[in-house]
Structure 1
């Protein structure tokens, strides 16, 4: 199960099949993609809680949380301050374990 909060996106890429350029910029959205590790997620409800909190950070355009891997992919207009990500994950009730 995965939870995803996302705005409509174009498809295709200038750099790779996944759309992530070499510097972390996302060619399909014009944003920056970052993958974080979050511990404690066990189900779809957990994924949704984490995605909801991270979506509330200014500039975030999409969030995909996957409980089975503990990975959360965030696309934003600009790089996010780690402390903002940590605080959002904490507010959701889970533990931020850094970048993946």
Structure 2
């Protein structure tokens, strides 16, 4: 039996199995999300954002509050905000 069946590492980061390569024509946007404190938070935010049509990958990092989203086309920020709200966190906007 595995010691840790969680997708999260001991450092609190999650691995979605996706790579950091972006396909031609895809758009990558980084958002600032407040309230994330651990790997569970990262997973909740990633899961909700992943359900938005066109999203191909999501990487959330609680330590920085940054969520990087790759999608086939630019996303409507209100759709991202709704997904983050559904996960129980707050979208502060696009990261500078």
TM-score (norm 2): 0.79
Q: Which residue of 2 aligns with 1:50?
A: 45
Higher strand share: 1
* Structure 1 gap segments, 5+ residues each: 12-27
SS of the counterpart of 2:16?
strand
Q: 1:77 aligns with which of 72, 78, 82?
A: 72
- Structure 1 residues 23-68: Cα deviation after superposition (integer angstroms, max 9, x where no partner): xxxxx31210000000000000000000000000000000000000
Rounded Cα–Cα distance in structure 2 between residues aligned with 1:8 and 1:40: 26
Rounded Cα–Cα distance in structure 2 between residues aligned with 1:70 and 1:4: 16
Q: Which residue of 2 aligns with 1:29?
A: 23
* Structure 2 gap segments, 5+ residues each: 1-11
- Structure 1's 4 and 80: CA in aligned 2 closer, same or farther, altered over 3 A? farther
Shift >2 Å, 4+ stretches: 1-9
